[in-house]
Amino acid sequence: MKTFSYVRATDVATAVGAIASEPNAKFIGGGTNLVDLMRERVESPDTVVDISALPLTEVEELPGGGVRVGALTRNSHLAAHPLIRARYPVLSQAILTGASAQLRNMATVGGNLLQRTRCPYFYDDTAACNKREPGAGCDAIGGFTRGHAVLGASEACIATHPSDMCVALAALDATVEVRSVRGTRRVPVDGFHLLPGATPHIETVMAADELVTAVELPASPLAANSRYRKVRDRASYAFALVSVAAALEVTGGAVAGVRLALGGVAAKPWRAREAERVLLGAPATEESFRRAAEAELAPAAAQPHNAFKIELARRTITATLRRLLTDGSAA
Amino acid sequence: MTQTEVRTPPLRETTGSAVGAPIDRVDGTAKTTGAARFAAEHPYPDLAHAALAHSSVARGRITAIDTAAAAAVPGVLTVITHLNAPAMKPPPKISPFNLVSLATGTSVNYLNTDEVHWNGQPVAVVVAETRDAALHAASLVEVAYQRLEAVVDFAAEEGNAEPQKSNALQSGGARKGDARAALAAAPVSVDLRFSTPQHNHNALEPHATTAAWDGDRLTVHEATQGIAWTRGQLALRFGVPERNIRVLSPYVGGGFGGKGMVWAGTVLAVLAARVAGRPVRLELTREGVYRTVGGRTPSTQRVALGARADGRLTALVHTSVARVGRVGGGGEQITSQSRHLYDAENILLQQNLVTLDLLPNTMMRAPGEAIGTFALESAVDELAYKLGLDPIELRMRNEPTVNPLDGKRFAHRMLREAYELGAERFGWPERTPAPGSMRDGRWLVGMGVASAYHPSWQLAANVTVRLSADGGVLVRCAFQEMGMGSATVVAQIAADALGVPVAAVRVEYGDSLLPGGPAAGGSAQTASIAASLLPAAEKLKRSVLALARRSPESPLRGTRASGVLARDGGLYPADGRGAGESYPAILARAGRDSVEARVGSDTRVGAMVSQARTVGKVLNDRRRWVKAACGAHFCEVRVDPDTGEVRVTRWVGAFDVGRVINAKTAASQLRGGIVMGIGMALSEETLVDPRTGRVMNPSLAEYHVPVHADIPPIEVHYLDEPDPTMPLGLIGVGEVGITGVAAAVANAVHHATGRRVRDLPITLDKLL
Ligand SMILES: Cc1cc2nc3c(=O)[nH]c(=O)nc-3n(C[C@H](O)[C@H](O)[C@H](O)COP(=O)(O)OP(=O)(O)OC[C@H]3O[C@@H](n4cnc5c(N)ncnc54)[C@H](O)[C@@H]3O)c2cc1C
Ligand code: SF4
């Protein structure tokens, strides 16, 4: 790892000031992703601004029933928080399926939002990668693509976003609060991450000098009946092949409200709006679930090793909605 | 020592019952408290750190190498490349007459050549004040290559495989009768193709070397399974006599075969220490292990079985294709179990090899049988279904009484009993045979069985045993302890042989200054040591008795060696009549501090003699008997019908491993093998990019070994009956556990789902 300068910020103003004044600086939260990427020579900041001591660790109830989560809240703390467990079980479950207990104890909400893809060719600096080096090409195409995208990919990049937490946030219509020397702005999670297009190195709407300060979860009666299902290559400690965050409300046998998002299939947490549209008002049956899943996956396109993900996503959507119907959010 | 102490020696436990007892490992406390020092933890004043730069092409020549940026990193002492490295001797050519040559990981003379033979070959070593500086600088070494055509795609090259030649230790093929004709004529048959991917060992401790030169004397702290081999290889390569080299390896954090050979890191650490003129530590990164230490070969296999309607096998065909590297590696005995497991009338076995421009393969837990049993034992299950027979019943109908190929006797074979015991403990009779017929809520439940089989081996071992005036026993032998429990079982064997409690025995190992030990491989270590330790203890007893007999006051005066028993910390008449004497009393009266006995000699000639004697005995034994460990695996899986996820939920293994020396450490070995086998069955796969020959998942995040949540409780049962042809009746337990595991899982998955997965790993996409 290249040598770098280290700055420790204890208040938000200093943090955003420090990042603005350094041309090649990075924030470090839990460091569980950034340090790996620095070791692998994917990231080489000259300055690292440590924000782990910022007073942004509160999980507070908002007037109206929403919840505000400070960006430095540790993943494990958020998952265990009673407000989250009661009102947004899908979020708690999603976080707990991610990484390992040790990593979750370190990882922060801001870092989780901004973690980068696990594409093996992105990690190996002998491979061509447009995300790492714009214009270099993409060695994943024609290589090992089991973990890659089936929705929203481009010719320049087929990587996926690895986060579980973000899939739940997408389903919950969360908002990200971002601060810089220019002020504060708020971005809906669904618009926070970008599809690769011709510029896969631009992954979010964040400017390089912006700090995530909080995530806000809107009040949602629907969210109390929600669950997360992650499908992966071993029972624990592996990234999602496909994951589904779902919330469901059924009245009189028909779907009165539904939120659905997919993980492991695209460069962003994939809000399944087409499936939601098909489901709304439809009878809450296996057949409707399947039809909705099919509608969502209709535009999917596979690589040689990941065609199974399309069928897996259909099945997992269907199975998750079915479980919500029978078991609610109980594990 | 005072008189009082002599009369009350510290020997209060009952003796004679150490062998078999499930005692805690003697090195457990040192390991759990952190007192144990591993190869990368030895402090030296002035220690420097080394890191490797790896090639990014599979085959080529280095045309330019720019080390300026690396050398400019603060703290960097030197950057060694083929342009400035001192000359080393090339590694020895592999020869059965020079066992050290068998430890040549690759034939590349590292940094003494501009040639690149695999993607990841070390092309430079950076030595720096800190490991971080060395690693960073290594990443800045710029290399230009003239690329040469490289053959790296195993799947594409399969058709170019050539038959593997047989040698004294391994057969490339075998035949009995006309299996092809019998197969064609068989009323019931299966003819199936299987594939298994490359695997890597992933020992918890990455390979590490700390090397210190003092003139032309060298001390190496090394994570190795072969102390003597490491010493021998370094002596040859650096042109110094073996006696000038000391290799220390008292603690090794797992090996599984990956630390059996001498790989680039070891050689280059020693080279770096010589160049830097300082002690150097080279700790491979996890990626560095994948790039420089070979793994298990991938394979494709064909198993064809022909049977009569009653299930009796008329034909057994098992052929395989595996790969070696152009610069090393060897055939793995993929068809070995197929020589012994079934009493087929006609047998045809052939192993084939392709040569690729990849890092050579190397031994990995049960090389050959681990993947060979997957194919054979899956095929037997398929045949059982085709015949409408219970898969255990089919096996029992074909259980041989003598070796099927040539009629040799089995030294010991209790596979039948293993199935009986396992079936009872597992509850096999409750299984309903129809695929998909068992459920637990939404889960599909499946149960499968498969046989485990691994030949037993023995290597040469020199041992000394010393009895001290206080009654304590010291056993010395340069064997390896990688966590198997070796030191503990050696103490147990010595304790019973000399009639002292385990606590009175100290074992010294892991140091090349000690009498030469066997390498830890082939599940042979314990049997090899026992074969020398038992006669050494016998010799010691005779010497002690001789001392006693010389003394007029000794109650043992006039007793013959055959008439005494070592027990309770001394020698006593075997018939229980008359008095005996404690060891301290005998030694005190004789005025001796200690008595020592030794088996084997470490002089050059002595070592050759004991090597030749052992190899001769092993080959002679093999002409007379077939020796092996075997067992029966019982596996229960649950499969999610929506997603195809497989969870192993229950495991019972019943093993015939001869006499069990330590019920606890042996169970850990067998369990560890089963865990590794579950990984092989469900998730492990080294991804070698067929375009570049580069390993694309060189990390524990992306190479999926099983995690705790993947592993159910594993019940291990022993038949615990001694093999009369083995020392103490013991058969090695290190490898048999992994064999058959993947087949048991695959068979259970079929029972749950009706789907046969013949390509490992059984990932969920194969079940959608
Ligand atoms: C072995 C392994 C397995 C894993 N498995 C999973 C998994 O199964 N599922 C899953 O979801 N995740 C998984 N992870 C990823 C893990 O969730 C992330 O590493 C973690 O969430 C990142 O949080 P952090 O605080 O450590 O981020 P850091 O490493 O500190 O930062 C990551 C990035 O975010 C930026 N950043 C951090 N905080 C802020 C902020 N407040 N404002 C602006 N920028 C910021 C940093 O500059 C950096 O670019 C795994 C990680 C590892 C190492
Ligand atoms: S898929 Fe994207 S991240 Fe992976 S190599 Fe291609 S460009 Fe890079």
DSSP B520-550: S-TT-HHHHHHHHHHHHHHHHHHHHHHHHHH
- Residue A116 Cβ < 6 Å to ligand 2: no
Q: How many CB atoms lie within 10 A of CB B605?
A: 8
CATH number of the domain encompassing residue A297: 3.30.390.50
b/e map A10-49, b = 16+ CB within 10 Å: eebeebbbbbbebeebbbbbbbbbbebbbbbbbbebebbb
Question: Which of A94-103, B208-217, B521-530 has the least mean pLDDT?
Answer: B521-530
Residue A181 to chain B, least CA–CA distance (Å): 34
Number of neighbouring beta carbons within 10 Å of residue B18: 26
Tell which B residues from 645 to 684 touch A, by Cβ distance under 8 Å.
645, 647, 682-683
**Token digits for A13?**
């103003």
Terminal Cα distance for chain B, rounded: 74
Average pLDDT over residues B563-580: 91
Q: Is residue A88 part of a domain?
A: no
Q: Look at residue A166 and tell me if it is in a domain.
A: no
Is 90 exceeded by the pLDDT of residue B12?
no
Which tens digit of pLDDT belongs to each residue from A45-65?
999 999 999 999 999 999 999
B431-488 pLDDT per residue, tens: 999 999 999 999 999 999 999 999 998 888 999 999 999 999 999 999 999 999 999 9
Contact (CB<8Å) A319/B642: yes
Six token digits for residue A301: 């396109």
pLDDT category at B601 given cuts 50, 70, 90 is confident
Would A311 be classed as within a structural domain?
A: yes
Q: Between A142, A231, A234, which is nearest B643 by CB?
A: A231
Do B393 and B420 contact (CB within 8 A), yes or no?
no
Ligand 1 pocket member A9 (CB < 6 A): no
Contacts of B475 (CB under 8 A, 6+ apart): B463, B464, B465, B490, B491, B494, B505, B506, B507, B508, B533
Ligand 2: does its nearest atom lie under 6 Å from the Cβ of A158? yes
Distances (CA, A) of B384 to B396, B572, B653, B748: 11, 58, 21, 13
pLDDT at A43: 96
So what's the pLDDT on residue B4?
A: 31
| Angstrom distance (rounded) from CA B15 to CA B270 | 46
Domains of chain B: 10-33+459-473+485-622 (3.30.365.10)
pLDDT at B348 over 60: yes
Structure letter (DSSP) for residue B360: P
- What was the pLDDT predicted at B5? 32
Instruction: Determine the pLDDT at residue B401.
Output: 97
Q: Tell me, what's the pLDDT at B603?
A: 84
pLDDT tens digits for B681-737? Answer: 999 999 999 999 999 999 999 999 999 999 999 999 999 999 999 999 999 999 999
A-B CB pairs within 8 A amount to 72
pLDDT in tens, A23-37: 899 999 999 999 999
**pLDDT score of A105 more than 70:** yes
A238, closest residue in chain B (CA to CA): B701
3-state secondary structure of B588: helix
Average pLDDT estimate for A129-137 = 98
DSSP B328: B
CATH of residue A27: 3.30.43.10
In-domain check, residue A249: yes
Residue A153 lies in a domain: no
SS3 for B454-509 is: EECCCCCCCEEEEEECCCCEEEECECCCCCCCHHHHHHHHHHHHHCCCHHHEEEEC
Q: How large is the average pLDDT for residues B755-766?
A: 98
Flag if A3 and B136 touch (Cβ within 8 Å): yes
- Identify the sign of the CA torsion B529, B532, B538, B539: negative
* pLDDT tops 70 at residue B13: no
Q: Is residue A231 part of a domain?
A: yes
CA distances from B544 to B468, B551, B589 (A): 11, 11, 11
Residue A35 CB partners (closer than 8 Å, separation 6+) = A1, A28
Record the pTM: 0.96
Residue with more model confidence, A224 or B620: A224
**H helices within B79-161, ranges in order?**
131-139, 154-157
Task: Look at residue B555 and tell me whether its pLDDT is greater than 70.
Answer: yes
Nearest to B664 by CA among B536, B508, B502, B472: B502
- Cβ neighbours of B128 (radius 10 Å): 27
Please give the Cα distance from B508 to B531 (Å, whole number). Answer: 17
- For chain A, what is the domain count? 2
| Ligand 1 touching residue A239 (CB < 6 A) | yes
Kindly write down the DSSP assignment for every residue of B167-211, as one continuous string. Answer: -SS--SEEEES-HHHHHHH-SEEEEEEEEE--B----SS--EEEE
Could you tell me which residues come within 8 angstroms of residue B417 by beta carbon, excluding any fewer than 6 positions away?
Answer: B654, B656, B719
- Can you give the C-alpha Rg of chain B in angstroms? 27
pLDDT attached to residue B562:
87
Q: What is the average pLDDT across B12-21?
A: 68
**Confidence category of residue B10, pLDDT binned at 50, 70, 90:** very low
**Full domain range(s) for residue A33:** 5-53
DSSP B736: G
Query: Within its chain, how far is the Cα of A57 from the centroid?
Result: 19
Q: What is the pLDDT of residue B604?
A: 78
Instruction: Tell me which residue has tokens 């990956």.
Output: B258
Please check whether residue B642 touches A, CB under 8 A.
yes
Q: HEC profile for B590-603?
A: HCCCEEEEEECCCC
Nearest to A203 by CA among A156, A240, A272: A156
Residue B735: active-site member: yes
Across the interface, which of B696, B706, B710 has its CB nearest the CB of A124? B696
Identify whether A291 is part of a domain.
yes
Straight-line distance from the first to the last Cα atom of chain A, in angstroms, rounded to the nearest whole number: 42
Q: Is the pLDDT of residue B1 over 50?
A: no
Reported as half-sphere exposure (CB side, CA atoms, 13 A), residue B26 has a value of 18
A4 interaction partners in chain B (CB closer than 8 Å):
none
Is A240 contained in some domain?
yes
* Number of other residues whose CB lies within 10 A of the CB of residue B64: 10
Tell me the HSE value of B270 on the side-chain side, using a 13 A CA sphere: 29
What ipTM describes this predicted complex? 0.97
Nearest-angstrom CA–CA distance, B473 and B483 = 23
- Rounded to the nearest angstrom, the distance between the alpha carbon of B760 and the centre of ligand 2 is 27
Q: Give the number of other Cβ atoms within 10 Å of residue B576's Cβ.
A: 8
Mean pLDDT calculated for residue range B645-668: 97
Least confident of A58-62, A158-162, A326-330, B421-425: A326-330
